[in-house]
Structure formats: structure tokens, C-alpha cells
Structure 1
């Protein structure tokens, strides 16, 4: 079995990676191999995807010190994104803060669904005006702005700290001039001027929060997780008030929990009398609901 002490003895990148991977596998981490590759690459100054190209290279004392610290934190339950203070999403890099969730791969389904809507209603080059509710790191809005060159986004969040993080991420990804922030709750600060609204709202039922993993409970902000008793608090706000801020022939696109599709279909019929289209993620689970407002 590998140990933290042994990491300082390893001569090259390949040996370091294999030993860190062994530590993570022994700890039964869900993504042991990926976590090891990302952390060893960061400590060594390489891109994770190119780590194998540097297997024969030596490991500096500085890199040994970094990886030992990273491994200790990861084994204590700290997520990789929190260790590094950043996370990749849609091929872009996003800084994290205590007030933001880590962008997750499943949310890329929301980007795909939104781009499909745009392509079908005027094309990607159209001067879209859209809102991102609960923007957090700004990942959803910034990913969309990177694909919609003439679009402008108004990003809303109740946390000024989150908005500060989002503005920095917008600047780092060269879209700050088209990324406007407003501190407020849901759609309250907005008026009728939007072609579409996107959101990855809190959707976990309050009673389920206690059963979440240590990594989530200790490192993700509860405001971004807790969706109320039924997990639908945010959806009721968004669906019920969307028409007030949307133009005609517009859309509300929202990420949902894997088991919420039927509830969202019924809720949308009840609140606004409209049908919902569900888009599935790579695992085949319903992940995004699209509500088109005529």
C-alpha cells in the first residue's frame, strides 16, 4: 500500500501518478484515477490530458510538496475543485469560492439544450438577451456567451460574493463586457426584455440534505442546494413569473434532478398551462426542462 511518506521518494511523474492513484483507489474514491491525474498534473505544472507525455520526467521538490498537500486534502474529503480553487466546464476554466457550487458535467446538458433553442429560433449569431438565475460561478452564462458572440446576459444571484466570483470568471474568459450582474432573488430584479432565461436552481429536497456526501455538505453552499420541502421552491418561482420577463416566442430552460421530470411537467401545466420538453444527459436521465412561452 502506498503512503504519503513514500511520495517524496518517487523519481518520475509516472511513478508519482501510479502511487497517488493507488492511495485514492485504496480510499475508494469514486473517481480515483481522474483525481490522481488532475492533481499530479497540477503539482507538476502540466495539462492533465498531456500527463502521460511527461511520465519519464523528474519530479521537483516543490512538486513533491504540492502533491503531498493535495493528497492529504483529498483523502480528508476535500473535492479536487476545492483543493485547486478552480474547475473546468464546457472547455473553460472557472474559479470557485465558498459561495459557489462547482460546475458539474451534467449541467452541460443545459448548455446544449439552450444552444439548440437558439439555433432553431434565429441562429447563434443573433443578438440574444438572456438571464441566468442563480448564476454562481457564472459557468452557464459564460459558456453560452462563448458560443453566442452577439449575446448579452444579465446574471442574477442572491450572493454578492458569488457575483464577484462570476465577474472574475467572465473577465478571465473574455466576456465581461457582455456579462451584467444583479444581486437579487430569482426574477424579482428583472423586467420584460429577455429572449430566454436559464437556471440551474437548488432542487434537493430539504430532508435529503442530511444524507448528502461529506464532500457536498462540507464544501458546497446550502443556498445553492436546498430546494425546499418538495425540492420545487425555485421552479415555482421561475415558472410562475417567467412570462413577466420574457418576450414572445421565448423559453425558460432549467436543470432538474434526475427524478423530477414528472413533477415539473405537472407543475408547469398547473402554473402556466404549457407543456414541457425534457432533455436527457449522457447517462440517459432527464436533466433539463424546456418551457416555450408563445
Structure 2
């Protein structure tokens, strides 16, 4: 496949076959994404002009990308970016790859904002463990007067989030803070949001290779019961919530009752919950009890 003179159609077919033969479940999609990215073509190009030639250097780049995919690296890690809530987000080694399930949390927060004072209020948002900035930036994209702070323990993650805010046009309403949960956080917020680590220690080895080897472990694993991060959030959030402020978190599929109990013990009540596309409990939102 490395020879020069391949057509785009040939390259796509060869890439798809190579991944399929190796047992990659989404071989056709992964092949298309990799070929499009490294040849700088589009799906329209492949459909309208499959006979167009691809130069040797770009063929080699596709081959190298396929080698990485066959080695277990997820396709979006290879490309270095992923779409989330209509945003184009750059990834880094110390950030999670944003996944569609997390859009459930964004939708839940937006529903509460609209139910309260509407989209045009200058909402103040704190995104704990912001990573790529996905949650905060998705909220800013739908709340035109809102501002957000993305907090993370990783300087690389914060640099990535700042870059994503810039390329998506939200740099003026987004800032970052290097902080271990609330340690360096000041002020009060209308929404404190987080997709925290929630995998149990014993479940780490059972994760797929794509997650275990390429997502940062400290962004996924949270103690023996998977609840350590929620404990940190519920202990610290009261000092940083404005009047009527809410805390919204993503959860594991079997953690709704346990997380609700943790918040209830600190005088928070559950006001809304949402399931992901698979029907699993995925997001909860709490308010302080009166």
C-alpha cells in the first residue's frame, strides 16, 4: 500500500480492509476518518472523485496512522481532535477524549438554565476537571452571556482547554485555573459541573485497551468504590455556589443512588437526572436544600 500513485478510492478500500482483517469493529468509519484527515480530503471527494491520485507522502502518513490504530490507539487520538456538541476539540495525552455520553450532562444543565432565568442570563460556570474544556465550552456555545472557569490539576490539560476555547471563539468568556478540585478556586458560581473520575480501582484492568492505555488513569479512577471525586466535590462546593446555584455531575451507570446519598448527607437534594442514549443513568443535578 505504500507505493505512490494510489487513488483515493484505492486507499480507502485498502485501509478499510486492513482494519477489518484485524478485527477492528468500526473499520469502515475509522478508515474513512484516518484517510480523510491525512490526505486532507472529504467524504464528498471520495464519493465524487475516487479516482483522484494521492501522493506518496500522504499514503505513507495514512499507513503510519493505520499502524497506530492496529496498535490499539483510538482513531481520535491519532487524529488529535474530536467533535463534541458541535465543537472541534483538540486532544492531549493528559485529557480524556470527550464522548457522546457526556453531552447528556450538558443537556441537563442547559435544561435547568432555560427553566430558571433563560439562556441570556450571565451565568457563571465552574467546570471541575475540565480536560479539553468540552463541558464548559459546550455550555458557552448555548449560553451567549455566560462565562466559565475550567479547573484542572494538569497544566497540559488547561493549555489544551485554552486552545480549544480560542479556536472555537470562546476565549473571551473562558479562563482556567490550576487547582486540585477547589483548592485554588475563588468566588461563587451558578453551576458547578464536572465529569469526574468514577471508575473503581478493581475495574481499571477490565477497561478496553483503547481506554486503559490511552486515556489518563487519574482522570478515570477514583478509589475502591469509585466515589472519591464526588466526596471532594460535595465537601467543597457549598463555599462556591451562589444563591440557587446547582451542582451537576456525570456518573457511572450504577452510581445514582450512592452519589445522591453523598450529596443528601451534605444537605443537597436531587432536582433532575438524565440517562444516556443507551438508557443508563448518566447525569445528576443537585441544589442545596432550604
SS for the counterpart of 1:271 is coil
Q: Could you tell me which residue of structure 2 aligns to residue 259 of structure 1?
A: 254
Q: Among 133, 138, 158, which residue is 2:128 paired with?
A: 133
Using the alignment, how far apart are the partners of 1:260 and 1:194 within structure 2? 25
User: How far off its partner does 1:171 sit?
Assistant: 1.0
* Residues 1:81 and 1:154: Cα distance change in structure 2 (over 3 Å): same
How far, CA to CA, are the matches of 2:136 and 2:223 in structure 1? Answer: 25
Instruction: Say which of 177, 192, 195 aligns to 2:190.
Output: 195
How far apart in 2 are the matches of 1:264 and 1:40? Answer: 43
Change (3 A) 1:49 1:240: farther
Query: RMSD of aligned C-alpha atoms?
Result: 1.9
- 2:106 is the counterpart of 1:111: yes
Task: Pick one of 45, 69, 72 that aligns with 1:74.
Answer: 69
Once residues 194 and 273 of structure 1 are traced to their aligned partners in structure 2, the CA distance between those partners, rounded to angstroms, is 16
Separation in 1, partners of 2:108, 2:42 = 29
Aligned-residue offset at 1:182: 0.8
Partners of 2:199 and 2:178 lie apart in 1 by 23
Displacement after TM superposition at 1:192 (Å): 4.5
1:153 maps to what in 2?
148
**Match for residue 28 of structure 2?**
33
| CA deviation after TM superposition for structure 1 residue 268, in Å | 2.3
Would you say the 8 A contact 1:265–1:276 is kept in 2?
Answer: no
Cα shift at 1:276: 5.0
Q: Which of 176, 181, 203 pairs up with 1:186?
A: 181
Structure 2: segments with no counterpart, 5+ residues: none
Q: CA deviation at 1:168?
A: 1.1
Alignment TM-score, normalising by the size of structure 2: 0.93
Alignment TM-score, normalising by the size of structure 1: 0.92
Partner residue in 1 for 2:218? 223
Matches of 1:33 and 1:103 in 2, distance apart? Answer: 21
* Alpha-carbon offset, residue 150 of structure 1: 1.1
- Displacement after TM superposition at 1:36 (Å): 1.0
The change in CA–CA distance for 1:80 and 1:197 in structure 2 (over 3 A counts) is same
Shift of 1:267: 2.3
Q: Which residue of 1 aligns with 2:239?
A: 244
Correspondence for 2:229 among 229, 234, 252? 234
Shift in Å, 1:178: 1.0
Unaligned runs of 5+ in 1: 1-5
Q: Distance in 1 between matches of 2:89 and 2:30?
A: 17
Match of 1:24 in 2: 19
Residue 60 of structure 1, CA deviation: 2.1
Is the 8 Å Cα contact of residues 135 and 157 (structure 1) preserved in structure 2?
Answer: yes
